[in-house]
Amino acid sequence: AQAAAAQAAQAARAAQQPMVPPPQDLQPTHFTVRITGIPSALLSTPCMEAVLQQASLLDATIHFKTEPGKDDKQSGDALVTFLSCAMAHQCISHFLGRQWNTSGGEVSAWLEPCGDSSAAPGEWSGGGAAGPVRPPGLEVEGRTRCHSTNTEASTATGGPGSDVEEEREDGVPSRL
């Protein structure tokens, strides 16, 4: 009888203790990167897919959305969602500081806060971030530039006639 009472008391104590979620439940299930300053010609779905594919990010992308700029009609934003934090940081490293036109405007990229857990992956979240987050060790020097009046075609194909160039450290563009 005493053993049964002890067992019942132990079960009652266990039921009163709060359940501690496993560590993976505390981690975000997706990581969303906001990219701003993308030329409007690249905001179509096929062009954005090509840009992500050329950056070796398309296979890791679970969702993306583009939106034309509100003030600057020549550029817009993209929101790209990944399952992996490492791929989100690779995306930031790839886009941050790029220049796709001769206006001198640079592309910015940062990890969006995951404040509203009820939002579906890839939806715009409120509040925004304080500014771009540079992953440790990211160097903006030697960034890729794409100079073209037909950026959409040259970026989508990347083949013959493409104006994609990589700026080397010596300042001399080399054909990709």
pLDDT digits (tens, 9 = 90+) for 106-121: 899 999 886 544 344 4
* Residue 31 structural domain: 26-115
CA–CA–CA angle 76, 57, 134 (5° rounding): 65
Per DSSP, what are the bridge partners of residue 34? 79, 110
Task: Output the CA–CA distances (angstroms, integers) from residue 64 to 52, 54, 81, 96, 169, in the order listed.
Answer: 10, 15, 6, 17, 32
Identify which of 18-22, 23-27, 90-94, 131-135 has the greatest average pLDDT: 90-94
pLDDT digit string (tens) for 137-147? 433 333 333 33
By mean pLDDT, which of 20-24, 38-42, 122-126 is the weakest?
122-126
pLDDT at 91 over 80: yes
Average pLDDT over residues 25-45: 84
pLDDT at residue 35 greater than cutoff 50? yes
Residue 93 resides in a domain: yes
Q: For the chain, how big is the Rg over CA atoms in Å?
A: 23
Number of domains in the chain: 1
Is 49 among the domain residues?
yes
Would strands 108-111 and 144-146 be described as parallel, antiparallel, or unpaired? unpaired
Residue 11 maps to a domain: no
User: Residue 8 falls within a domain, yes or no?
Assistant: no
Q: Is residue 71 part of a domain?
A: yes
The confidence score (pLDDT) of residue 114 equals: 67
What does DSSP assign to residue 155? Answer: H
pLDDT at 171 (0 to 100)? 45
For residue 3, is it within any domain? no
- The CATH number covering residue 59 comes to 3.30.70.330
Residue 30 within any structural domain of the chain: yes
Per-residue pLDDT for 161 more than 50?
no
- Check whether 132 has a pLDDT greater than 50: no
Q: Is 67 within the bounds of a domain? A: yes
Q: What is the pLDDT of residue 72?
A: 63
